Structure 1
Amino acid sequence: MSVPKNLYIYPWESYTENNCNSFVIDGSVRILIDPGHAHLLHHLEARMVRDGFSLEDIHVALATHPHPDHCEGLVKLKELGALIAMHEEALAFLSRFRAQWEQMTGQRMPDFPVDFFIKEGRLELGSEVLQVLETPGHAPGSVCFYWQEPGVLFSGDVVFVQSVGRVDLPGGHAGLLARSLEKIMSLDSQVLCPGHGPVLEGRGAVKENFYLIRQYFFAHQASPSSPQ
């Protein structure tokens, strides 16, 4: 299984500044998943331009969870004409997280005028269909997107290659993260597109990654399917 031709992967590879991987699905509705920090959007756009489109060509921008390095750029995308969306609990968390946001970024937290809320279930965007899975644990309102037809899982910060999202930030919960991991590892994923680090290709490699993570990180959990 190779990466679909209409999926564009933009990994963040800097070791000096934190930001997330971004992904564009180039369909009849052009979708951007996790735009990252607002002040780093010019890096993303420079790479997009080489592929034949720009931020202004994005129709819908989605955030996997409400951390600045994933969702802050939504505001700029909204200004450029895109519809923006996140989970309702993610937006509620942002209102509670304001003080921490401003301490972390040194800037005022923007308002997020979302056009619609993402929720568990089927999300149709033009010719493409994403399955939304609610996956809390790393952050409230965290979701993963499963693009079923090509078997691509956009996991945000729930799971990476050989690692999982941290749970020591506000709203983090190890038991919930273990439960979320169990939820998404049952999918027939052939490509894992995480929020940070490398993309993983191949059904066997993705499955093995899930089993290794469950064994290494959650072997101590009495019941991974139940929050502790």
Structure 2
Amino acid sequence: MKYHRVPLGPIQTNCYLLVNDDKECLIVDPGGEGKKLNQLIHKQQYKPQAVVLTHAHFDHIGGVDEVASHFSIPIYVHKKEKSWLKDPAVNGSTFFGLGEVTVQSDVTLFAGEGSTTIGSFSFELYETPGHSPGSVSLYFKEAELVISGDALFEGSVGRTDLHDGNHEQLLKSIHTKLLVLPEETLVLSGHGGETTIGQEMDHNPFLNGF
């Protein structure tokens, strides 16, 4: 499996395309510029299976409707944030003055964590709340990578000053769900570049002393 990191939207949030040998792909967090993303997918001749959201903040959902409707694919989000998709006051778009960013399409809900299969893709879904209550991370063991959303970044962690954020809960999520993964695991974050679990264990200043 390979991946593409595609920064999209008003603050260049990382969207990820996870692609298997048959050119099937999962689309994770299409934060905006849906038309641009659709064109890229067509150019690469990929076959999208679903849109998966690590959480429902505005900068991760801005392109969802345009992409999902274009390819007629389902949308997955944690049940705790279903209502956020239609509420600009909660998903942050009103707070940041970016108009009303919403998702109007029907969605499929993740009820909880565990082994998950979408199309031909299988992964472990981890609940990693703190940045938001329904934040999830996607761990692909064979590919040795985890998509951490806005929980863990290179040298940093997610902000917790937005709706229902909780810093202590975020640190607990990182330590109990992410830092227990093999140190060589590649971390694909919602913003910024790639890192590894080992690098963050050794050098992330926000994780020291927890």
TM-score tier after normalising by the smaller chain length: 0.7 to 0.9
> TM-score, normalised on structure 2?
0.84
- Map of 1:12 onto structure 2: 7
- What letter is aligned with 2:69? E
* Alignment counterpart, residue 83 of structure 2, candidates 75, 80, 92: 92
Change (3 A) 1:112 1:90: farther
Which ranges in structure 2 are unaligned for 5 or more consecutive residues?
A: none
Match of 1:101, as an amino acid? S
Instruction: Give the match for residue 61 of structure 1.
Output: 51
For the pair 1:177 / 2:166, whether they are aligned, the reply is: no
Gaps of 5+ in 1: 1-5
Q: Hey, what does 2:181 align to over in structure 1? A: 187
Alpha-carbon displacement from aligned partner over 1:28-57 (angstroms, at most 9, x marks no partner): 6521111112xx12333344344333xxx3
In structure 2, C-alpha distance between the alignment counterparts of 1:24 and 1:108, rounded to whole Å: 22
Deviation at 1:139, TM superposition (A): 1.1
**Taking every aligned residue pair, what percent have the same amino acid on both sides?**
26
Provide the C-alpha distance between the structure 1 equivalents of 2:56 and 2:140, rounded to a whole number of angstroms: 21
| Cα separation, partners in 2 of 1:44 and 1:59, compared to 1, 3 Å | same
**Counterpart of 1:160 in structure 2: which amino acid?**
F
Higher helix share: 1
Return the alpha-carbon distance in structure 1 between the equivalents of residues 105 and 115 of structure 2. Answer: 23
Larger RCO, structure (CA 8 Å, separation 6 or more): 1
Q: Which residue among 107, 117, 121 is the counterpart of 1:114? A: 107
- CA deviations on 1:102-130 (whole Å, 9 max, x unpaired) are 35321363434203435300111233211
1:77 and 2:71 aligned: no
Aligned-residue CA RMSD (Å):
2.4
1:3 is matched with none
1:133-153: CA deviation from partner (whole Å, max 9, x where unpaired): 000111120000000111110
Report the 3-state secondary structure (helix = DSSP H, G, I; strand = E; otherwise coil) of the residue aligned with 1:59: strand
Asked if 1 retains the 8 angstrom alpha-carbon contact of 2:77 and 2:107, the reply is yes
Q: CA deviation at 1:74?
A: 2.0
SS of match in other structure, 1:193: strand
